[in-house]
Structure 1
Amino acid sequence: MSVKKKWKDLSPLGKCAIMLAGAVQIALQAAALRDLSKRAPLEVNGPKMAWVAASFINFAGPIAYFMKGRRK
């Protein structure tokens, strides 16, 4: 059975890794939302609002948008 650790119980390296992952997630989502806001609907594969919603799925959503959501 796994035991949940509290923030105060994490090592400094563990805290740093969590903060870095959070910063990367926020940066990816912000970049995806910014790119979506500047693109015309014809430059996006599928509905823009679906990609906006998908961008809120941790890591996978923004990465999927950048890989499959934009037309070249």
Structure 2
Amino acid sequence: MALNRLERSWSPEEMTEVKAYYLDLISYRDISNQISSEFNIRHESPQVLIVKNGEVIYDNSHMGINYDDIKEATKS
């Protein structure tokens, strides 16, 4: 549901500087554990992380995932 809400809101024209990736971290738990360790965050699913210059600048999950918040976090 969170992915569907985000996909419906996503505007490539607004997010020209953002590369979005979908990772199935339930199936690849070792990658999830590495991301959690690398960025010192708790894994949740679904979850959105925005990484800029090697640091997480936005982290939210479930119903907290919000396109407008993501757009604001990614402004240069």
Q: Please state which structure has a larger fraction of its residues in helix.
A: 1
Structure showing greater radius of gyration is: 1
Do they fold alike, i.e. is TM over 0.5?
no
- TM-score when normalising by structure 1: 0.25
Q: TM-score, normalised on structure 2?
A: 0.24
Q: Greater share of strand residues, 1 or 2?
A: 2
